[in-house]
Amino acid sequence: MIIDEQQRQAVITGHFNEFIYHEQQMGPWRFVMTLQFNEKGLITHQQDWIN
């Protein structure tokens, strides 16, 4: 996790565990999320990258 308080941005990495969706096995997957926050700490922009 990388947080830049001055720019109000965060980058988060992690992984989704395996799961079953409509009888199809999915995952595991890695992900990266970039978040932008406003002055109240609310997310104003989110971008997800999933492999």
Q: Supply the range of the domain harboring residue 9.
A: 2-50
Model confidence band, residue 12 (pLDDT cutoffs 50, 70, 90): very high
Which residue in the block uniquely carries the two structure tokens 């990258």?
49
Region 19-30 average pLDDT: 96
* Whether pLDDT at 42 is above 90: yes
Nearest Cα to Cα of residue 13 among 41, 33, 27: 33
3-state SS string for the chain: CEEECCCCEEEEEEEECCEEECCEEECCEEEEEEEEECCCCCEEEEEEEEC
Region 10-26 average pLDDT: 96
Q: What pairing do the DSSP bridges indicate for beta strands 2-4 and 43-50?
A: unpaired
Q: How many domains does the chain have?
A: 1
User: What digits encode the pLDDT tens for the residues 27-39?
Assistant: 999 999 999 999 9
